[in-house]
């Protein structure tokens, strides 16, 4: 009897481990490694596919200090023209400078579908909790009209997007959204009080003129939120996915007026959230005339580890199955659709947590995920 129990236990162990091994796609490429290109630390991935089919990976180059702003940070990018197999040398979007105390970070990116122009929005000047009404955390934008090869000088839009009573604000890094009518949106996490570590309000920031001017929603999607993303639903409503600072499960809010006002936030227990930034996007099956939503996040309610991709077939009402794309400690992620129809993910593998043993730091990997694999054996 004992031998039979041991045999069954071994069988289950091997079966589970085999399943876990099969879960991870084989195609992984290191894009930004620790201690490369003159920087020990890289963080905050953003990924997009350009009009020409180029992949653009945008990142914070943080030097020897892993910390957020006001650490001296540069926003840089790499390009891939072969579906993520190889990547270019780094391209500077916004250069940090210790001598002048210039610093930028937390970039979000979008492509204007009508022109192919790439638009990045990022923070600068000060840290969120150091920011105040006299020394604000600035909001900047930079553009590229040559497929990400060169970028315009950072332009401040701080005065356009700040409400009078804010103490600080920063854009949620990753992908911004563009609606069918051309409106571009991203989410600002705004600090409404002087309290260190206090509440953050999630406002939609939008442009109707390809990024020239920007406006802020009249109401927030959450009054105790953090980094958040927006996706347009098939019925024209907008869904805001919000990082849950209390950890546990993901929060959401809905707008029925193109992002001008937002519903009270609600929790969806289909998606775990260890208080982390992730990405949300639509995938359209051209031949089948249908689409699904994809959402990347660590698969844990408390620790940033095991990034997976959730799938929704009912416009975000439920997220009933997921596939893991990273083993072990992993945090922020960004998603895009590749020219060949597969999914590309740019992910942080590593950790920044004194309570977890080991060296702090991240390697930024590109993972290519066949859509058929993503939807096989829904779990």
The residues annotated as belonging to the active site are 68, 227, 332
3-class secondary structure, 20: helix
CB 312 within 8 A of CB 319: yes
CA distance 48 to 53: 9
Tokens representing residue 155 in the block: 């332009």
DSSP 193-253: SS-TT---EEEEEEESSTTSS-EE-SS-SBSS--SEEEEE-TTS-EEEEE--TT-EEEEEE
Query: CB of 99 within 8 A of CB of 156?
Result: no
227: closest CA among 266, 182, 175?
175
Handedness of CA 369, 371, 377, 379 (dihedral sign): positive
Sign of the dihedral defined by the CA atoms of residues 159, 74, 339, 367, in that order: negative
Residue 15's Cβ-count burial label (10 Å; 0-12, 13-18, 19+) is exposed
Token couple for 235? 């019925």
CB 249 within 8 A of CB 275: no
Q: Which DSSP letter does residue 102 get?
A: B
CB 253 within 8 A of CB 261: no
């Amino acid at each position: 009897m004992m031998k039979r129990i041991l045999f069954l236990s071994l069988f289950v162990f091997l079966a589970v481990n085999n399943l876990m091994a099969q879960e991870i796609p084989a195609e992984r490429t290191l894009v930004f490694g620790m201690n490369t290109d003159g920087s020990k630390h890289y963080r905050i991935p953003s990924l997009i596919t350009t009009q020409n089919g180029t992949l653009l990976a945008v990142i914070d180059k943080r030097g020897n200090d892993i910390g957020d702003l006001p650490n001296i940070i540069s926003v840089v990018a790499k390009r891939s023209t072969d579906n993520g197999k190889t990547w270019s040398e780094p391209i500077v979007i916004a250069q940090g400078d210790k001598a002048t105390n210039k610093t930028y970070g937390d970039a979000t990116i979008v492509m204007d579908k009508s022109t192919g122009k790439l638009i990045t929005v990022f923070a600068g000047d000060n840290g969120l909790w150091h920011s105040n009404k006299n020394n604000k955390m600035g909001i900047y934008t930079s553009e590229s009209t040559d497929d990400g090869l060169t970028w315009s000088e950072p332009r401040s839009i701080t005065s356009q997007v700040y409400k009078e009573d804010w103490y600080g604000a920063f854009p949620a890094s990753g992908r911004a959204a563009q609606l069918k009518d051309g409106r571009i949106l991203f989410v600002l996490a705004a600090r409404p009080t002087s309290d260190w570590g206090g509440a953050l309000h999630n406002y939609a920031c939008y442009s109707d003129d390809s990024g020239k001017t920007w406006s802020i929603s009249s109401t927030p999607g959450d009054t105790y939120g953090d980094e958040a993303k927006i996706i347009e639903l098939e019925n024209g409503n907008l869904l805001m996915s919000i990082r849950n600072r209390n950890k546990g499960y993901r929060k959401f809010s809905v707008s029925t007026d193109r992002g001008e006002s937002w519903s009270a936030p609600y929790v969806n227990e289909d998606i775990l959230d260890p208080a982390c930034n992730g990405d949300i996007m639509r995938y359209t099956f051209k031949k089948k005339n249908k689409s699904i939503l994809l959402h990347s996040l660590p698969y844990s309610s408390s620790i940033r580890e095991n990034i997976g991709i959730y799938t929704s077939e009912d416009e975000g009402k439920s997220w009933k199955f997921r596939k893991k794309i990273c083993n072990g400690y992993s945090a922020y992620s960004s998603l895009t659709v590749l020219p060949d129809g597969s999914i590309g993910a740019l992910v942080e593998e590593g950790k920044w947590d004194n309570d977890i043993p080991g060296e702090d730091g991240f390697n930024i990997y590109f993972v290519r995920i066949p859509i058929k694999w993503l939807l096989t054996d829904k779990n």
